[in-house]
Structures are given as structure tokens and as C-alpha cells.
Amino acid sequence: MLYVCIIDQEGNICVHKEIPADPNKLQPLLEPYIGNVVVGVECMHCWYWVGDFCEDIGVNFILGHALYMKAIHGGKAKNDRIDSYKIAKLMRGGNFPLAYVYPSAMRATRDLLRRRMKIVRHGADLKAHIVNTTSQYNLPPNKVNLKNPSAREQLRHTFAEPAAQKNIDLDVALLDCYARQLSKVEHYIQQQAKQHNPVHFHLLKSVWGIGPILALTIIYEIGDINRFETEYRTTIQSSQVMFSYLVVKYSFSE
């Protein structure tokens, strides 16, 4: 469901009602005001279709920063009806905290990259569980590199206790699955990056300390670099160079 609140310049409520989350239901409400209305949505997981819908029908769309909006209009009494009115009041008063409306062409790939990061973190938790379980049973620490499939296979006969071994087998099975799937995902994202920002991808990889994954993260989290002020773009570029210098300096010190 979607709660729509439209107010005029004097603060009078023109529309304030709940409708199904359907473009065919939203469009009739907006049509009398097209050309004089701006649609504002809090930056939650379901704003994509509203932003794309507004772009299709030629209505200005702005996105509210969820954290800042919570700080501004947070209160004890909260529901969709109250929130929609507060958001409209923030927009009318010029206090609506803007977030970046990420372009639809790169949005799905960015989400896939973020999903990859969560899975990688879970894989690190699985590896930590193997190490902790080995310590828990007072066994010698294994020196195997868990990134290596053959090394993971060596762990299948580590524990004498069948239930403990089954626990480790579960970790290893998930790690094997993650390794296969993430390899495919990373290749796919790299191919997408070469289409979205071919020059940026190769340029970032040429900087010492920036590999393919970090290059992809920079590309898809920044989006359009021109959305930043000139001074801030310079700061970002300087930070990238400094980061690379620190990485190289650290590797030499090792």
C-alpha cells in the first residue's frame, strides 16, 4: 500500500489517502497536478518503482535521506498517514533532506554487488567458525588456506566426534557453494562495469592497491561522479591516490 499526501503552497491538504502500490492507481491522483507537483519518497527499499514511474510521466522526483528524516520528523505517534503529511510539510518548507536518486541503468548491478559483499562476510564467519571449533576441541590449529577447495577438503576428517565433523562439513559445503557462485557473480559484474563505465573501471584498476572488486565498489557506490561538488571530487581522487600509497607502503614494510 501507498499513502499519498498532496498539499498546496498555503499548506492546505489537496489529497490525503491510501492507495494500492500500483502505478495505475497513483497516476490519476497526480495527473491534475502534473507540472506543479514534486513527488518525495523516503529512501526505503520500495522507492525504485515510484522513481521510475515519475520519470516516465515527467514528474519531478526527490528522495529523502532515511536517517536524517528520522531525526527531523521522528515522534511517538507514527503511521503511514502521519508520516506522509510530515514528509509533504518538509518538502513545502524546504527542509526535505535529499538523498541521491541512483540511476536505474546501474541500480540492479549495484544491488548485486552489495549482495555479494554480504555473502562474502558470511563466508568469513564460516571460516571463523571452523577456526573456533578447532580451538574448542583443543586440536592443533590448521594451516590450510580455506580459499583453496583442496584445502577445504582436508577438513572433512578433522574431528573424531561425528556431530562436530558434521558441523564443519556444513561450513565447508557452504564455502564451496559460495566460491562457485561468487566467481560467476564477480565475472558478471565486471562485464556490466565495462559497459556502464569502461574507462573508469580500467583507470581505477591501474591505481596501485585497487583491484577489480574495490574498483567495482567505487564505480557503483559513487555512480555519477559529477553529482559531487568540484572540490569534493578532487578530495575523492586525492583519497584514492593516498589509499593506494598507504597500501603499497604497508606491503613494503611487511
Q: What is the CB neighbour count within 10 angstroms for residue 226? A: 8
What's residue 250's pLDDT? 44
Q: Which residue in 211, 213, 123, 121 sits closest to 175, CA to CA?
A: 123
Give long-range contacts, CB 8 A cutoff, 24+ apart: 129-137.
129/171, 130/155, 130/168, 130/171, 130/172, 133/159, 133/164, 133/167, 133/168, 134/158, 137/161, 137/164
The mean pLDDT values, 10 residues at a time, for the chain of 254 residues are 89 91 92 90 86 92 84 65 88 88 92 96 93 88 78 79 90 92 95 87 86 92 79 52 45 41
Query: 38 - beta bridge partners?
Result: 60
Under 8 Å CB-to-CB from 216, ≥6 apart: which residues?
113, 189, 190, 193, 201
What's residue 28's pLDDT? 92
pTM score of the predicted model: 0.79
What's residue 54's pLDDT? 93
Parse the chain into domains and list their residue ranges. Answer: 2-99, 104-253
Torsions phi, psi for 15 (to 5 deg): -140, 135
What's residue 174's pLDDT? 94
SS3 state of residue 146:
coil
Q: Cα–Cα distances in Å, from 19 out to 3, 29, 119, 128?
A: 6, 10, 36, 48
What's residue 233's pLDDT? 53
Asked whether the beta carbons of 5 and 87 are under 8 A apart, the reply is yes
What's residue 14's pLDDT? 92
Q: Is residue 121 left, alpha or beta, with left meaning phi > 0 and alpha meaning psi from -120 to 50?
A: alpha
DSSP 97: -
